[in-house]
Structure 1
């Protein structure tokens, strides 16, 4: 059995993929994506879209795609995305979300991660691009800082927060299975999923018991 972290409400496609590979999945939720207040999003969008030409808008998740375009649709007086702006998605599912909103030309890096996005921009011939990152409030600044170090002008739009989930039962199910030796591997799909997991697990394990059990399986 393989355990995989996904945000609350997500993971069915991941489970289907794991089953197609011959494994039994357990999807457990250590993150709940919560939209920020509309006014906070509006202020950031207005600021980012009125500072001149935007070369690239980078989406770090499908959630960011939905929230941005839903806010733009709900508030028609907001500035529009310039027609010459290009779009970069962190992975295929995020690209599919953009397609749903009529964005047909979207680039996806070879590696579906912040590191992959950073590497992609490293190979870009254009000097000093202006980039807008659509991301979680909880995301660290490593990608933005790296892009700035390469000469880019970077604006971040924090459109949702990656919070601790309200319902912890799926995490407890994983911890129970871990105790019983039911898992061959566990995959953490973001840094915040790891941090939240250990915070939750502290209520169930004492001392080094958790690390000892994780060391018995493959952790990715």
Structure 2
């Protein structure tokens, strides 16, 4: 039996682990980034850094946030004196490598999961910093404010349409030629950008349904797949390793 060919649409600088997992599980990864991440030093990020001493909490929603802060303000993280909440194991592990203690990480690795934990703990009347991408969903800051907290929102990086879409177009050709067994999406924008690059969206969606196994990292990304009428599965725990494990378990049952 030939090795399953798995398409990975993550940003280039965050895809190494996913490719390694596919190879470890006896698959062949095909990297076609549908998203570029670019750290940026914005006015809002500078303001957050200047107001560091006001913070009761800071929330890191992705590793790229930490990368951006270290790039532009290398002393910021090491001098933080507030509680830390993170979304996801990878973000938590990177924060701990920086010498930080993670005070809160929800079992459900989504903004909704984090909000639920803040509600359970009755966290209110706190000043909370959230450095992230400006294209992120508004649910997290809005919900925290509804709980009576003050939110300092900062743009730490940009989520960009890929500057070079050659690999994505090559992937689409491979999909049409039935050379791909599965495709993975790890954020809503990876889905949106993929279908923006695809000229015939309906045709590609039908091909995904008929010829491929589509795997979403979780329910938020899955909602965008619903928009394009693509069938999918996603793991109980919203991480890349769990996603890949489910992918290969499902392929092996077929």
Residue in 1 aligned with 2:198? 201
Deviation at 1:71, TM superposition (A): 2.4
Residue in 1 aligned with 2:85? 88
The change in CA–CA distance for 1:117 and 1:207 in structure 2 (over 3 A counts) is: closer
Name which of 164, 168, 172 aligns with 1:171.
Answer: 168
Separation (CA, whole Å) in 1 of partners of 2:40 and 2:204:
33
Residue in 1 aligned with 2:73? 72
The yes-or-no answer on 1:56 pairing with 2:53 is no
Structure with the higher fraction of residues in helix conformation: 2
Name which of 206, 211, 218 aligns with 2:213.
Answer: 218
CA contact under 8 A between 1:66 and 1:97: conserved in structure 2?
Answer: no
- SS across alignment from 2:148: coil
Deviation at 1:119, TM superposition (A): 2.8
- SS across alignment from 1:6: coil
Separation (CA, whole Å) in 1 of partners of 2:177 and 2:57:
48
Separation (CA, whole Å) in 2 of partners of 1:199 and 1:91:
28
The yes-or-no answer on 1:152 pairing with 2:156 is no
CA contact under 8 A between 2:145 and 2:151: conserved in structure 1?
Answer: yes
- SS across alignment from 2:73: helix
Residue in 1 aligned with 2:249? none
Deviation at 1:72, TM superposition (A): 2.4
CA RMSD of aligned residues (A): 2.5
Higher relative contact order (CA 8 A, sep 6+): 1
- SS across alignment from 2:58: strand
Unaligned 5+ segments in structure 2 are: 217-254
Deviation at 1:106, TM superposition (A): 4.9
The yes-or-no answer on 1:45 pairing with 2:49 is yes
Separation (CA, whole Å) in 2 of partners of 1:138 and 1:25:
28
Residue in 2 aligned with 1:161? 158
Residue in 1 aligned with 2:105? 108
Separation (CA, whole Å) in 1 of partners of 2:147 and 2:27:
42
Separation (CA, whole Å) in 1 of partners of 2:201 and 2:137:
28
The change in CA–CA distance for 1:16 and 1:98 in structure 2 (over 3 A counts) is: same
The count of aligned residue pairs is: 210
Separation (CA, whole Å) in 2 of partners of 1:177 and 1:106:
45
Matches within 5 A, 1:131-150: 131-150=128-147
- SS across alignment from 1:154: strand
